[in-house]
Structure 1
Amino acid sequence: MSMHQWRPAVVGVAAVSTALLGLTYAPPAHADGVSCTPDAGGSGLSAAVVAQPHRTIADRTIDATGCDIGIYVGPGATHVTISGVTVENANFQGIFAERTSHLRVAGSTLTGNGFHTTDPSAPPLEGSGVKSYVGQAFAISLFGVSHSAVVGNSVHDNGRGGIGVMDNGANDPGWLMQKQNPDAPLVPSTYDVIAGNHTWSNYSGCGIVTATQNFGGRLSNLQIMNNTITGTIGQFTANGPDIGGIVVAADPPESRVDNVNVMGNSVSQSFEGGIIVNAEAFNSSTNRVTVSANTVTANNWGHLEAPQMAGVLVYANPAPIPPGTTAPRNVATTVTGNTLGAQFYGIWSLGDFAPKTAGNTISVTPGGTPIFHG
C-alpha cells in the first residue's frame, strides 16, 4: 500500500467519538513572544496568520515556530492571494485552506513545516493514545477548496508531505481528530490547478496528492501539470525517505475522483510509485484520469505498491470487500505519450479495468516488463 492510503482506524469517520467533541488544548505561544491565533476555524490548531477575504499576503517571511499553521485560509475567506511568501517551521500545515474558493498560492517557499504534529499536552484520541493528531498536514493543504491554483512554488524539507488537495466533511483532514464534527457537510475540491511546482525532501507524505478522505467524498476537474518531484534513491534520513510521487486516489468507501489531468510532470527517484492512480475501498472509483506527456524515472524504489521499481501505477485494491458492495475501480484511465525509464515496470496495473496505453516510450531495467496488468 502507498503512503497515502485510507486508514479507517486513524482518519476514517468511524474513528471519531462524539464524546470527544469540544476537547481542546492550549495552543503554544509563538517563539518570538507573539501569540498565535488559537483554534483557527475551530480546527483546534493555532495559526500565525489568518487570511481575510479578497486580501493579498505577499513578499514576507512567516516564521511560524510555536504555531500549528503558518497561514490559515478558512471558510468564507475567498479570493485570497499568497505570493512570494516563505512559510517555515509550522508544527502542522504551512498553508492550510479549507471550505473556500478562488485561492492562489504562487511563487512561495514552504519549508520546515509538519514536523510536530503530536503534542504531549493534548488529550489523547480515545483508544489510541495519539495526541493532537491530524489526518493530513501537507506543507500546502487545500481541503474542500475549489477554483484555486497552486503554481510555481518550492516545497521542500517538510515533515508530512508536499502539496495535498482533498475533500472536506465529517472527516476534516486538517483538524485535530478530537475536534471532528460528524454532522459537517461534504465539501468537494474541484476545478483546482497544481502547476509548475518543485517538491523535494518531503517525508511521511507524498509530493503531490489529490485524494478523497470522506465516505462519499468527491474530487473533480483537477489539473496537475508541469511539476517537478525529485527524490534520492536509497537515502533514508532521521525522518525517513523522501516519499515523492504524484497520487490521484479515491480512498474511503463510496468516494469518487473524476476528470483529472496529470500532464507534463517530471517525477524521479520517489520512494513510492512515480504517478499513482488508486481506488482503495469498496464502492470507490477513479474516473477519466489522463496521465500524459510525463517523464517518470527510477521510482518506487521502496517497492510499496508494485513488487519492483515502477513508473505509472493504476491500482485497485484487491482486498476482500463486504457482501453486496462493488470492488474499487479505475475507469477510463489513459496513460499516453509518457517517457518512462530506469524502472522494472514502466506501467503497472491491477484490477478489472486495465488503463488504455498508447504512444509511451518505455525502457526497463534488465528482466523488466514495459507494461504489466495483473
Structure 2
Amino acid sequence: MSMQDDTGAPGRVLVVGASASGLTTVEALRRKGYTGAVTVLGDEPHAPYDRPPLSKQVLSGAWAPQRAALRDQETLSALDAEFVLGDPAAGLDPASRTVRTESGRELSADAVVIATGVRARLLPGQDGLAGVHVLRTLDHALALRADLLAGERLVVVGEGVLGSEIAATARTLGLDVTLTGPLSAPMALQVGPLVSGILADLHTERGVKLRLGDGVVGLTGERGRVTGVRLATDEVLPADVVVVAIGASPATEWLTDSGLALDNGVVCDSRCRAEAGVYAVGDVARWHHEGLGRHIRLENRTNATEQAMAVAGAILGEDRPYAPVPYFWTDQYDAKLQVHGFLPADAEVDVVEGDLTARRFVARYRSEGRVTGVLGWNMPRQARMRRQEIVDGLGTPAPTH
C-alpha cells in the first residue's frame, strides 16, 4: 500500500541516478517543501558531480577532480536524503515501485524517479585494447588525461560536441590530434553547415587534422594496445591514444523486464510520467513535448536541471506540461557557442547580429517560416535576448497554474 502524507505527497521518494538530474530532483522537492523520506541510488562510488567540465577543465588539468563535485558534503547532508552509492540498479517492479540493485538490495518507494542517464557507445573490438577511451564519467576523464599526458598522437572518433571539445582540449595540451567521423565538419549535425564550417576553420588553425567524411570501421592494435583507427576507405590513422565519442544510448537495460515503454529512452507523457508513480528525468527521459507535438529526448545539462524541477513539481501534484526551449553550450579554444531552441538540418540560417569573419555573431535558424533556434558565437547575451522569437515560433503552451 502506498503511503502519502496529509498533503497528498508520496511518503517516500526513490531517485535512481545520482548525477545532475537526480540531485536536482531532490533539491527541488525539498525547496518545494517536501518533508518525506528520500533515497538516491547511484551506480558510481562518487558523490554527485558535473559532467560538462570533464571534457574541458578536468581533462585539461585546469581543475582538480573534486572541483567537479556539484555540492559539498555539508550541503548534501542538509538535504536529509539517504545516498546509496556504488550499487547500480538491476531491475524495477513498477506496480510495487521497488528497485532491485546489483548487490541484491531492494528499495521501495511511493514515487520512483528514473535518472540513469546514458552510456557511451563503443566501437566493435575496443574493449580489449589499452589506450582506447570513452568520456562519460569522472573516472573516464582521469584515465584519459593520464594517457594524454603520456601519449603523442590522439585520434578522436566522432565529430559531435563531445569529440570536438576533446580535440580542442587535447590540442591545448600539445598533442598531435586528428578528428575523424562520417560528417563533413565538426558538429555539422548539431549546428548545420554555416557554423560547422567556421568551427572546421577554427580547429584547423589550431592544428587539429580533420579527417572527416568517412566512417570508422574499427581499431588496429599490437600486443593489446591500440595503434590506429581504420576508416571505411581502409586507411589507418595512427594513434597512441583513441577517444570514441560516437554518441550515447539511454541507460535502460535494467528496465527491460519492467513493462515500461522503452524506445530511445523511457517513454513518458507531457508530465514526464512513465507510469503511475514512476517518472523519468534527464538524458534517459523521452517525453511528449506539447509545443512540438511529439516525443523528444534531450542530452544536455540545462535540461537535466529544468526537467528535474518539473518532475519534482509533478510528484507533488502540480499538473503542467514540461515544454522547454532547449539550451546547450560548448567551449572550444576561445570560442563559446550558446544554442537556444532547435537547429534543424534544413533550416534557413541568417546572421542577425555581429560578424562571421570576426567570429562574434548571432545566427537565427528558421524552418517553414518559423524561428526554431538561435546560436550565439561569443555573443551570449545577444543570443539569449532572441530566445523569445523561438518561444513565439514554437507556440509553446504557457504554464497552467
Greater relative contact order (CA < 8 Å, ≥ 6 in sequence)? 2
Instruction: Return the structure number with greater helix share.
Output: 2
Which protein has the larger Cα radius of gyration, Structure 1 or Structure 2?
A: 2
The TM-score, its normalising length taken from structure 1, stands at 0.27
Instruction: Return the structure number with greater strand share.
Output: 1
The TM-score, its normalising length taken from structure 2, stands at 0.26
